[in-house]
């Protein structure tokens, strides 16, 4: 019999009526011939209430006790849900994470799942029960209760769907599905029926932040189609899956990360290991670095710009000051009033001119881009916070995202159970280091066909990047990576890469534009190597970029430019270092490679 996993978030179980409504949905799915597993969150804002209560008593509550406390929220809802189903005349059994056998590591309040046993759930299902699993919790090897981090019930649901080989995981929530952007920010956002795992990961905040990132990583790793839909109605929602039909649009979503801070480091020595020595201490402080851009600058130094959540800026600055005290270099601009605007789409990989369109749109709206990074399926620009809404609305409309007419219902693709690892393989990979949530590197690749151009110190004002890339595109050059960082004063550095046979044309244009802008100079290299590391879990395993930096530093390979995204880290090194770089990255990530 097919198994369906249905997850109900806090707002969907906020009171007894809602609990009964959720119970009826589960019963209906069972009557339609499915075995049903429900995963429920704590009622309403119960988790927030418990956290405030803890903080009233102790401003640094021990993490173990925090988990003991927070896990009770879900225990309340599973019991009530089982009573609701019983009241409707059907069989139900509630289970805590420990009772199911969801084993996690011991990082209290942010534990990762290592393994899940399915025996008890399967026996209960075979006995005709609807099984109700407490979301967000597990148990470590010493039988301590752990929780998976805020929003973690999604991750419980998708991981249960994975190990039970369910056909799909339904996420019931208070929105109708996934939108082209957060509808609370832009009311003209449109519902989309299909989105791929990678797009969803890149746009972690897409569609009102509906999903916990780690749950999407699970979906991708084990090929579980995720159906995000409303708990208030029966209308179909949106599917996150890989073989989802593409819309044919270059861009499928846009997003805003509102509270970022930009930190610029100038004049650091352009030698192997520099970035590692800046970012390793930051990572050790568990500060989440978002964008990282680096550019080749003048006279043997380099500029590095990066962003962190605004409230983590002070700590990051302290760390940078310590690093440059040893390394040399100086702290440049710090701007706490910036937001990140991104556009994402698988279609971008096949279409040219997407970056130009975004840059032009922002230029026309008089929005300056402080820094820029691109990946195969994402372009992000950092803008002043007071312009961020204008910027988002502009790109959202430029790419037609306000005019999408959603099809009647999403196509739920068959779960391709042969595509991911088999359950036997999964279970085999479960030991203490390599749990279900371990990082998986899918690919480490070397591209030796490109060249690099860096234009130093161009005006940092609206329209500059648009003008440069407009001209480059007009000359028929296909630009791959774009990295813009802050230089000094009102100036920016821009690096871009292109196929080597277009290098001469691109260089000519860059030199012309450089003159027109009175930019300082154009620096270039015909033979570069681009190394890319992609995989599942890069978002939640922030150590991946650090791992790349470490491997290259140890091999004494200098990084000339880099950009990062949720699913990919790209670095540019000298053309002669490509093979060596590929080898050392292979060694660095040997334990994480999907065989
Ligand atoms: N109740 C937990 C929280 O509020 C887990 C969840 O809802 O997903 O974060
Ligand atoms: Mg949630």
Kindly tell me if the per-residue pLDDT of 210 is higher than 80. Answer: no
Kindly tell me if the per-residue pLDDT of 145 is higher than 90. Answer: yes
Q: Average pLDDT over the chain, rounded to whole?
A: 90
Measured from the Cα of 152, ligand 1's closest atom is: 8
Query: What is the tens place of the pLDDT at every residue in 26-41?
Result: 999 999 999 999 999 9
Q: How confident is the model at residue 565 (pLDDT cuts 50, 70, 90)?
A: confident
**Nearest Cα residue to atom 8 of ligand 1:** 151
The ligand minimizing its distance to the Cα of 172 is 2
Q: How confident is the model at residue 436 (pLDDT cuts 50, 70, 90)?
A: confident
**DSSP characters over 541-584:** -THHHHHHHHHHHHTTPPP-EEEE-SSEEEEEEEGGGHHHHHHH
Q: How confident is the model at residue 205 (pLDDT cuts 50, 70, 90)?
A: low
> What backbone torsions phi and psi does residue 283 show, to the nearest 5 degrees?
-65, -40
Measured from the Cα of 45, ligand 1's closest atom is: 4
Query: What pLDDT score does 447 carry?
Result: 97
Query: What pLDDT score does 246 carry?
Result: 59
- Beta carbons within 8 Å of 319's beta carbon, 6+ residues apart: 281, 282, 285, 287
Q: Which whole-number Å values give the CA distances from 478 to 176, 342, 504, in the listed order?
A: 38, 21, 13
Sheet holding 137-139, edge to edge: 113-116, 102-104, 137-139, 145-147
Highest mean pLDDT of the ranges 328-332, 426-430, 448-452: 448-452
Mean pLDDT of 560-579: 89
73 CB under 6 A from ligand 1?
yes
Kindly tell me if the per-residue pLDDT of 432 is higher than 50. Answer: no
Mean pLDDT of 129-143: 97
Mean pLDDT of 266-292: 88
Q: How confident is the model at residue 592 (pLDDT cuts 50, 70, 90)?
A: confident
Query: What pLDDT score does 538 carry?
Result: 72
Measured from the Cα of 153, ligand 1's closest atom is: 8
Query: What is the tens place of the pLDDT at every residue in 66-80?
Result: 999 999 999 999 999
How far is it, in rounded angstroms, from Cα 377 to Cα 349? 6
Least confident segment among 64-78, 382-396, 437-451: 437-451
Query: What is the tens place of the pLDDT at every residue in 184-199?
Result: 899 999 999 999 998 8
CA 591 to chain centre: 22
Q: What's the pTM?
A: 0.87
Q: How many whole angstroms from 210 Cα to the centroid of ligand 2? A: 7
Query: What pLDDT score does 6 carry?
Result: 98
535 CB under 6 A from ligand 1?
no
Kindly tell me if the per-residue pLDDT of 461 is higher than 80. Answer: yes
150 CB under 6 A from ligand 1?
yes
Q: Which whole-number Å values give the CA distances from 544 to 9, 15, 61, 211, 274, in the listed order?
A: 31, 42, 30, 22, 16
Ordered domains of the chain (ranges, CATH):
3-245 (3.40.1160.10), 268-308+315-333+444-592 (3.30.2130.10)
Kindly tell me if the per-residue pLDDT of 401 is higher than 90. Answer: yes
**DSSP characters over 25-72:** HHHHHHHTT-EEEEEE--STTHHHHHHHHHHHH-SS--HHHHHHHHHH
Kindly tell me if the per-residue pLDDT of 545 is higher than 90. Answer: no
44 CB under 6 A from ligand 1?
no
How far is it, in rounded angstroms, from Cα 153 to Cα 148? 8
Mean pLDDT of 246-261: 86
219 CB under 6 A from ligand 1?
no
Kindly tell me if the per-residue pLDDT of 122 is higher than 50. Answer: yes
Q: How many whole angstroms from 113 Cα to the centroid of ligand 2? A: 17
Query: What is the tens place of the pLDDT at every residue in 50-67?
Result: 999 999 999 999 999 999
Which residue bears the tokens 């393989």? 425
Mean pLDDT of 255-277: 91
Query: What is the tens place of the pLDDT at every residue in 510-531?
Result: 999 999 988 778 999 999 999 9
Q: How confident is the model at residue 567 (pLDDT cuts 50, 70, 90)?
A: confident
Q: How many whole angstroms from 42 Cα to the centroid of ligand 1? A: 6
450 CB under 6 A from ligand 1?
no
> What backbone torsions phi and psi does residue 200 show, to the nearest 5 degrees?
-65, -40
Number of separate helices (H) and strands (E) present in the chain: 18, 28
Measured from the Cα of 42, ligand 1's closest atom is: 1
Ligand 1 pocket mutation, candidates 151, 156, 216, 228, criterion most atoms within 8 A of CB: 151
Q: How confident is the model at residue 419 (pLDDT cuts 50, 70, 90)?
A: low
């Amino acid at each position: 019999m097919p198994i369906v996993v249905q997850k109900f978030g806090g707002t969907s179980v906020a009171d007894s009526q809602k609990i009964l409504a959720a119970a009826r949905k589960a019963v209906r799915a069972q009557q339609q011939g499915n075995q049903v597993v429900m995963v429920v969150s704590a009622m309403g804002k119960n988790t927030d209430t418990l956290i405030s209560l803890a903080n009233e008593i102790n401003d640094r509550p021990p993490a173990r006790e925090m988990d003991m406390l927070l896990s009770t929220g879900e225990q309340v809802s599973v019991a009530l849900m089982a009573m609701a189903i019983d009241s409707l005349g059907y069989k139900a059994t509630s289970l805590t994470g420990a009772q199911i056998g969801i084993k996690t590591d011991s990082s209290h309040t942010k534990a990762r799942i290592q393994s899940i046993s399915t025996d008890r759930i399967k026996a209960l299902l075979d006995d005709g029960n609807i099984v109700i699993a407490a979301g967000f919790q597990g148990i470590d090897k010493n039988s301590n209760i752990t929780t998976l981090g805020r929003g973690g019930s999604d991750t419980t649901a998708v991981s249960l769907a994975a190990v039970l080989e369910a056909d799909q995981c339904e996420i019931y929530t208070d929105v109708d599905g996934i939108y082209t952007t957060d509808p609370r920010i832009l009311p003209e956002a449109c519902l989309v029926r299909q989105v791929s795992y990678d797009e969803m990961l890149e746009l972690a905040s897409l569609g009102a932040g509906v999903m916990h990132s780690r749950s999407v990583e699970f979906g991708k790793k084990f090929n579980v189609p995720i159906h995000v839909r409303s708990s208030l109605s029966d209308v179909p929602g949106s599917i996150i899956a890989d073989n989802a039909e593409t819309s044919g649009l270059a861009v499928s979503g846009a997003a805003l990360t509102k509270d970022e801070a930009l930190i610029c480091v100038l004049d650091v020595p352009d030698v192997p290991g520099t970035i590692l020595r800046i970012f390793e201490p930051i990572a050790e402080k568990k500060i989440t670095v978002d964008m990282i851009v680096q550019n080749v600058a003048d006279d043997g130094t380099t500029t590095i710009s990066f962003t962190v959540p605004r409230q983590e800026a002070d700590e990051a600055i302290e760390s940078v000051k310590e690093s440059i005290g040893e390394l040399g270099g100086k702290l440049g601009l710090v701007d706490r009033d910036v937001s990140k605007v991104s556009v994402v789409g698988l279609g971008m990989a096949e279409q040219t001119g997407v970056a130009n369109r975004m840059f032009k749109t922002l230029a026309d709206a008089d929005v300056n881009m402080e820094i820029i990074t691109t990946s195969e399926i994402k372009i992000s620009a950092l803008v002043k916070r007071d312009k961020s809404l204008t910027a988002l609305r502009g790109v959202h409309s430029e790419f037609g995202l306000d005019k999408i007419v959603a099809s009647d219902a999403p196509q739920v693709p068959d779960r391709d159970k042969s595509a991911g690892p088999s359950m036997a393989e999964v279970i085999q990979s479960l030991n203490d280091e390599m749990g279900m949530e371990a990082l998986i590197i899918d690919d480490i690749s070397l591209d030796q066909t490109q060249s690099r151009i860096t234009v130093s110190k161009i005006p940092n004002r609206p329209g500059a990047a648009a003008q440069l890339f407009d001209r480059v595109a007009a000359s028929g050059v296909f630009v791959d990576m774009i990295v813009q960082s802050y230089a000094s004063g009102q100036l920016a550095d821009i690096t871009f890469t292109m196929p080597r046979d277009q290098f001469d044309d691109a260089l000519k244009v860059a030199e012309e534009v450089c003159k027109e802008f009175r930019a300082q100079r154009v620096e270039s290299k015909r033979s570069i190597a681009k190394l890319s590391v992609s995989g599942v879990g890069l978002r939640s395993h922030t150590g991946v970029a650090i791992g790349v930096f470490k491997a290259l530093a140890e091999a004494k390979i200098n990084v000339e430019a880099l950009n990062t995204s949720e699913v990919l880290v790209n670095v540019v090194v000298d053309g002669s270092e490509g093979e060596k770089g590929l080898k050392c990255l292979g060694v660095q990530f040997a334990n994480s490679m999907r065989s």
